[in-house]
Amino acid sequence: MTEVGRHRQGASWSKKIAKYVEMLRITVLTDLAYAYDMLSRQLFLAVVMFVFVKLWSATYRWEGAVSIGGYTMRQMLWYLALTESISMSTPRTAADIDDDVRSGSLAYSLTKPYKYPWFLYAKHMGKALVGFSGSLIIAGAVVWIAVGPPPVTALSCALGLLTALLACTLDFWAQVAIGLSAFWIEDGSPYRLLYSRVKMLLGGMLLPLELFPDVLRRVVAFLPVGQIYHGPVKTFVSLSLHEFVGTVAKQVLWTIVFIALAGAVYKAGVRRVNVHGG
């Protein structure tokens, strides 16, 4: 028997968490290995933001209003810069899981002492961190030139970051639940597409929820998709403590729902792992 080959199950919580932090770090390192490629891919975002700047400038001029739906033009354009950056940098974790299930990579991960979903969570957050930073540099530069610095305060930034973290977590668990359906269904891409489109159209990526028809706004404001773009971004650019508390409560609630759902799907699915001989 080897000297170090002993059971380390009694290791401290800090060691148990450290493995996921290291996973996040290594994901950041991997994504940074191609930072220039990533930035050049996101140059398209500059074009999108330029179009938004022109479109909203014309709209505000045409309306002759200082604010639309409670947003000044500066708030509106920074709102869009942030939602577009989130959209561009959201990791495709559901597709990765689908691939892991079908290729057998998930099966191989079972021989390591970590929890697959939490490992993916660390990876998701690492990818989101690098991707979002890159996107925001591009989108933010265009909007800054057009309308000046972001309308934020230290408090709105701190609380906005908290809701952004929760939004990313919520989105991750929703994607896990969708991705793990690969254990049962032949092709998960329609479900992934449906989720991403609903998130984009109803989640406030293209328009703040305040500009939606009243009934739709009320419904979406409660649904998980309303907490991924609109919730955190509104906190950044137009902080209301009352809305912030509501957003956090809904984010936590929906995250718990998706963790429970993903946990049940994972538990049932892992028995179906099929990897044929090599």
Partner 1 sequence: MVDMATAISTKNLTKVFRTATKEPGLKGSIRSTFRPSVREIHAVKGIDLEVERGEVVAFIGPNGAGKSTTIKMLTGILYPTSGEANVLGFVPWRDRESLSYKIGSVFGQKSQLWYHLPPSDTFNLLAKIYEMDRGEYGKRKDFLVQAFEIGPFFNQPVRKLSLGQRMRCEIAASLLHGPEVIFLDEPTIGLDVVARQNVRQTLKRWNDEEKATVFLTSHDVGDIEYLADRVIIINHGQVVMDDKVKNLKYHYLNKKIVDLRVSGEVKLPALEGVKIVKQAKSGLKLEVDTEVIDINAAVSHILKECEVQDISISDRPLEDIIAAIYQREEVAP
- Residues within the interface to partner 1 (CB under 8 A): 1-9, 11, 15-16, 18-19, 21-23, 26, 29-30, 33-34, 104-105, 107-108, 110-114, 271, 273-278
* Dihedral sign computed on CA atoms, order 217, 206, 204, 144: negative
57 three-state secondary structure: helix
Asked whether the beta carbons of 267 and 273 are under 8 A apart, the reply is: no
Phi, psi of 67, rounded to the nearest 5 degrees = -135, 150
Nearer to partner 1 among residue 11 and residue 158 (C-beta): 11
CB of residue 29 to partner 1, shortest distance in Å: 6
Asked whether the beta carbons of 84 and 45 are under 8 A apart, the reply is: yes
Identify the CA nearest to 244 among candidates 151, 132, 140, 167: 167
Nearer to partner 1 among residue 29 and residue 216 (C-beta): 29
Q: Please count the CA atoms within 13 angstroms of the CA of 212 that sit on its side-chain side.
A: 19
CA distance 219 to 200: 15
Tokens encoding 17: 């968490």
CB of residue 238 to partner 1, shortest distance in Å: 40
* DSSP, res 72: E
CA distance 244 to 236: 10
CB of residue 273 to partner 1, shortest distance in Å: 6
Nearer to partner 1 among residue 64 and residue 113 (C-beta): 113
Nearer to partner 1 among residue 20 and residue 254 (C-beta): 20
CB of residue 130 to partner 1, shortest distance in Å: 13
Tokens encoding 251: 């984010």
Nearer to partner 1 among residue 15 and residue 197 (C-beta): 15
CB of residue 192 to partner 1, shortest distance in Å: 22
Nearer to partner 1 among residue 50 and residue 119 (C-beta): 119
CB of residue 81 to partner 1, shortest distance in Å: 29
CB of residue 82 to partner 1, shortest distance in Å: 29
Nearer to partner 1 among residue 27 and residue 85 (C-beta): 27
Query: Which contacts (CB < 8 Å, 24+ apart) does range 217-225 have?
Result: 222/250, 224/170, 224/174, 224/250, 224/254, 224/257, 224/258, 225/198, 225/199
